[in-house]
Amino acid sequence: MTNYQLGIFNEEGNIFNVSEFEVTSSDVSTIKKAIRKAVKPVDETIEIVVSFGKTLLEKISPNHLPDKLKSFETIKGKNGHEMPSNQSDLYFRIIGGDASLVLDQTIKIQEALDGISEVVLSENGFKYKDCRDLTGFVDGSANPKEEKKYLAALIPEGEKGEGGTYVFHQKWIHNLQKFNELPVGVQEKVIGRTKVDSIELEGDDMPVDSHVSRTDAKHDGVAMKIWRRSFPFGSAKEKGLMFITYTCDPFRVDIQLDRMLGNTEDGHSDQIMNYSTAVSGAYSFAPSTLELATIL
């Protein structure tokens, strides 16, 4: 399966944008034309992952709806935390190496969709230090390697949407000051890895409510692996992580979110949620390039 959208597995890019739109037009051919225009790269170094929310895909191309695509709904956690939905229609992740070109592409997409949509969210980010989240911890260490990333991310052959992927976007706002007040040893217990070298804590050192313990999940003996491509963002106003993941089955993400929220038998919620707040959440489907050409 080699016809996935290339940006999904891009690891070289270090400048990013995610933009989310609610489509207000009901004219299918106008919508398709606008999306075709939006996804034309402004430069050969730019990669774009385009994905569709369920409601929009049902409207513009119902035959291409993969079985497991659903709208994300707000989840309330047993311990008072919440993950809100901002589910809408159209999702773009832009990856590049030059901030000017990533911005040019962002504007191109926005202008192509102007008049038929509203911007729901648009966030810029970049690779921070050696792939670290703003907490200072390396993000992505346990991502599946080599061939395994394709198995984790891509919808398998024979399933509707094969070669495509289910996408989950979730914007998080950090209370960095609160996190940074913790001694490093305590921060490491929140995450479940060491700070400098990103070594997973072992045995009794690993708390059940560390982020790694909550997200390193198995179901019926199958490891719920996902392919993460999150990026940090920051300004004097807001700091956080644009969490982005690609998965062969959204159930894998659902399980991890439930485990983070404490909505599982053991009832432990993720310590990370004491320092960071989810402010958006949405599922979409990024079809293979072959299927995308048919949809559009």
Applying CB under 6 A, does 162 fall inside the site for ligand HEM? no
In the complex, residue closest to Mg ion by CB: 216
**Token pair of 198 as six digits:** 């990103």
104 is a contact residue toward Mg ion (CB under 5 A): no
25 lies in the binding site for ligand HEM (CB under 6 A):
no
Using CB atoms, what's the residue nearest to ligand HEM? Answer: 142
Residues in contact with Mg ion, counted by CB under 5 A, come to a total of 1
The residues, any chain, with a CB within 8 Å of residue 48's CB and separated by 6 or more, are 5, 7, 39, 41, 92, 93, 94, 95, 105, 109
CA R_g for the chain:
19
Q: Which is closer to Mg ion, CB of 124 or CB of 215?
A: 215
Asked whether position 20 contacts ligand HEM by CB under 6 A, the answer is no
Q: Are 10 and 47 in contact (CB under 8 A)?
A: yes
Residue 242 interacting entry, from ligand HEM, Mg ion, none, C-beta within 5 to 8 Å by type: none
CA distance 108 to 124: 15
Residue 140 binding partner per list ligand HEM, Mg ion, none, with a CB distance cut-off of 5 to 8 Å that depends on partner kind: ligand HEM
Residues 116-145 that bind ligand HEM (CB under 6 A): 133, 135, 137-142
Q: Which helix (H) or strand (E) holds 55?
A: helix 54-60
Residue of the chain from 216, 264, 289, 295 that contacts ligand HEM (CB under 6 A):
216
Tokens 């992952």 found at: 49
Does position 74 bind ligand HEM by CB under 6 A? no
Residue 212 touches ligand HEM, criterion: CB under 6 A: yes
Among 32, 216, 279, 289, binds Mg ion (CB under 5 A): 216
Q: Which is nearer to Mg ion, 159 or 216 (CB)?
A: 216
Q: Which residues are catalytic?
A: 139
Asked if 261 and 81 count as a contact pair (C-beta separation under 8 A), the reply is yes
Minimal distance in Å, beta carbon 94 to ligand HEM? 21
CA distance 105 to 150: 27
Report the 10 Å Cβ neighbour count for 279. Answer: 15
Residue 247 found at the interface with ligand HEM (CB under 6 A): no
Rounded CA gap, 6 and 12, in Å?
12
**Least distance (Å) from ligand HEM to the CB of residue 139?**
5
Nearest residue to 111 via CA among 40, 27, 7: 40
**Part of the chain binding Mg ion (CB under 5 A), chosen from 32-40, 122-130, 214-222, 287-295:** 214-222
Question: Residue 278, CB half-sphere, CA atoms under 13 Å: how many?
Answer: 25
CB of 198 within 8 A of CB of 138? Answer: yes
3-state secondary structure of 112: helix
Least distance to ligand HEM, CB of residue 176, Å? 10
Which positions touch ligand HEM (CB under 6 A)? Answer: 133, 135, 137-142, 170, 172, 191, 193, 198, 211-212, 215-216, 226, 241, 243, 245, 253, 256-257, 272, 276
